[in-house]
Chains A and B, each alone.
Chain A
Amino acid sequence: MIRVFVPGDAAALSVGAEAVAAAIAAEAAARGIAVTFVRTGSRGLFWLEPLVEVDRPGGRVGYGPVTAAEVRSLFDAGFLDGGAHARALGRVEDIPYLARQQRVTFARCGIVDPASLADYEAHGGLKGLRAALAMDPAAIVAAVTESGLRGRGGAGFPTGIKWRTVLEAAGPRKYIVCNADEGDSGTYADRMLLEGDPFLLVEGMAIAGLAVGAGKGFVYIRSEYPHAFRRMQAAIETARAAGLLGPDILGSGRAFEMEARLGAGAYICGEETSLLESLEGRRGQIRFKPPLPAISGLFGRPTVINNLITLATVPAILADGAAAYRDVGTGRSRGTMPIQLAGNVRHGGLVERAFGLTLGEIVEEFGGGTATGRPVRAVQVGGPLGAYWPTDLFDVPFEYEAFAARGGMIGHGGIVVFDDTVDLARQARFAFQFCAIESCGKCTPCRIGAVRGAETMDKIIAGQDRDANLTLVRDLCEVMRDGSLCALGGLTPMPVVSALDHFPEDFDRPAQACAAD
């Protein structure tokens, strides 16, 4: 029986994957051909979605982007035997965009059937957990420390140090919390893994539980990802039924339980302490630190709270050894980073590579420039709190320290590309407006500053008292940066100040009648 792979990933579905699968099934039935469907996640080459793949002796061959209307012609061309067609892409692994990547965390995404634990295991899954079961907790923590893995959510805190703090914290009950509240515009890596390789997260969380002595894990998934939430819930049930979760994981006598929880539409719940408040059933307002969540986290217990990508990277570290991971990368940015290309970009998609290639290589060589064909003018790296950079900074290597040294951050790895029609004054205004919409309201610089910032930007855009208002905005940014309790208020100045510094011409418009007057 011929196996045909059609993604069930939300992005692929958004451009017609379901209709394509239905058309292939109907056409195969009409022609009396037996076909087995595997609904995979996405490979992350989104301009090729829906990307249909067919099993061939030398490896899978791909066709994309495919529309339902083209399915008949695919059959006519003999695509089930790898036949030539205008949409034919050849062996998928040989597509340069994929061939030039170093996939570790995303090694299986788009390849395996995310509903099948057997398929997960057949593709190398559970090796990390089996290795961890043979180690004592301190040795697991040591391996993670040695790998150099830093939190992939944005702050880049060393994961091993966080884990060691929880391991050494006293307490009969500890928790693992996975932050899958991927709210940053331009990021979708968490969503892809939840939909395309959910057992990887189960494995990573179970390893974290073994490492620190936690018996329960929560995955907090944002409500904007209904497909991902359903997939993760199903994976947890499957894992429990197979004895991968529960009182006796893989027959080891050790226990770990997991639960998926849905957020309720609040960006601030991606901040770790707000997320804990939300899980406990409260408004997602941030908590003062200290105490650190590692000491007093969920329900007051010692808690490892990690980003999804961080936890999903741990199985590979345990399976292949810390050194293999540490040995790629650059400086203090070790291993690989799932970079997400988005916005006005020709080849938008996921690029997992060792740290160190330049921003320009990512945007120009992988991204292929803008989708509109106009010149790239700005990129925003690291989500809505990340800096807007001009192409002059394209030589900066993609890593934590190099970005910080130039006043930016890599955040969760999202890169949003803008062409030359972008107005950076409006983008700076949006940064304040977004902060005003999403502020939890606990601290004054964020709650009030964001509103005043948007108002002042309106005056600047209208050309009113330009110099005085620009001084005011910079002063406000300083107060927000230094006086806010968490990263939302503290980093909102980053897009604003970077826009002012790198694109001053956009803030120098002739005076107009101001709507606010």
Chain B
Amino acid sequence: MAGPAAASSSDTFDAAVVIEIAEGLRGLDGPLLPILHAVNDRLGHVDQRAVPLIADILNLSRAEVHGVVGFYHDFRRAPAGRHRVQVCRAEACQAMGGEALASRLEQVFGVPFGQTTVDGRVTLEAVYCLGNCALSPAAMIDGEPVGRATVARIVEGVAR
């Protein structure tokens, strides 16, 4: 998750967008996850101020919506960096030096997993399997997969 500094420096909260998304998707069976995904995608995170708006439209308690936002790894409470670097930390990647890759990436970007670089460029995230286990270690940069990942390939991917 991004630090508090990132949250205050780029305020992307827009109540009208949240309401539009929630109204548009409320007719789905079990609409909460699709709504949270859409808010997360459009606004970069699920701001605390979005919670009561969504709760109201779905006739849920704020606690219920808040609990769902907090439960899933994907929903951010604060904006991420411009690039999202997901690195697999699971067994198949461990077998191919994934842990050494992970710690070198922490050094290169200067942040531990789960945080965003000070310049807001990169958010480093641990994931547990990207389904690319035969080409491990595996990573994903802004949704694009990187197989047989190396520090150099990840740095290059972020620079693009």
Contacts and interface: CB of A to CB of B under 8 A. Distances in A.
Contacts of B67: 283
A281 B29 CA distance: 9
Output the residue of B34, B131, B135 with the most chain A CB within 10 A: B131
A346 to B, nearest CB: 10
A514 B49 CA distance: 44
A223 interface: yes
B90 A185 contact: yes
B135 A266 contact: no
B17 interface: no
A424 to B, nearest CB: 12
Interface stretch (A122-130, A410-418, A449-457): A410-418
B131 A349 contact: no
B30 A418 contact: no
Contact of A264 (B73, B88, B91, B145): B73
Given A183-B129, A284-B71, A340 B91 contact: no
B92 A185 contact: yes
B94 interface: yes
B144 interface: yes
Contacts of A416: 91-92, 95, 133
A246 to B, nearest CB: 17
A14 interface: yes
Contacts of A11: 131-132, 134-135, 145, 147
B29 A264 contact: no
Interface string B83-121: 000101011111110000000000000000000000000
Interface string B58-90: 100000100110011111000000000010101
B122 interface: no
Contacts of A419: 95
B33 interface: yes
A498 interface: no
A414 B136 CA distance: 14
B95 A418 contact: yes
A283 B71 contact: yes
Interface residues of A, number: 61
Contact of A371 (B73, B96, B147): B96
Contacts, number: 159
Given A46-B134, A380-B91, A384-B90, A15 B68 contact: no
Nearest to B68: A283
A224 B131 contact: yes
B95 A417 contact: yes
Given A11-B145, A14-B146, A265-B73, A182 B91 contact: no
Contacts of A228: 131
Given A15-B147, A283-B67, A344 B133 contact: no
Contact of B128 (A185, A262, A264): A185
Contacts of B94: 343, 427, 430
B127 interface: yes
Interface string A332-354: 00000000111111001100000
A188 interface: yes
B32 interface: yes
Contact of A281 (B32, B131, B135): B32
A226 interface: yes
Contacts of A380: 91
B143 interface: yes
B31 A281 contact: yes
A175 B155 CA distance: 45
Interface in A387-431: 414, 416-419, 422, 427, 430
Interface in A135-171: none
A186 interface: yes
Nearest to A278: B33
A266 B129 CA distance: 11
A438 B128 contact: yes
A261 B31 CA distance: 10
Contact of A10 (B29, B36, B132): B132
A191 B64 CA distance: 31
Contacts of A226: 143
B72 A264 contact: yes
B130 interface: yes
A37 interface: no
A103 B66 CA distance: 46
Contact of A187 (B30, B133, B143, B147): B133
A418 B93 CA distance: 10
A81 interface: no
A14 B68 CA distance: 32
B148 interface: yes
A345 B132 CA distance: 13
Nearest to B147: A14
B42 interface: no
Interface string B125-160: 001111111111010100111111000000000000
Interface of B: 29-34, 36-37, 58, 64, 67-68, 71-75, 86, 88, 90-96, 127-136, 138, 140, 143-148
Top 9 nearest A-B pairs by Cβ distance? A348-B134, A281-B32, A14-B147, A342-B133, A265-B73, A185-B90, A264-B72, A343-B95, A14-B145
28 contacts: A11-B132, A11-B134, A14-B146, A47-B134, A49-B147, A185-B88, A185-B93, A186-B90, A191-B131, A224-B131, A225-B131, A263-B72, A263-B74, A265-B74, A266-B71, A278-B33, A281-B31, A299-B29, A343-B93, A344-B96, A349-B134, A380-B91, A416-B92, A422-B95, A427-B91, A427-B94, A430-B91, A434-B128
Given A11-B145, A265-B74, A430-B94, 9 more contacts: A14-B148, A185-B91, A187-B131, A224-B130, A264-B33, A264-B37, A284-B71, A342-B136, A343-B133
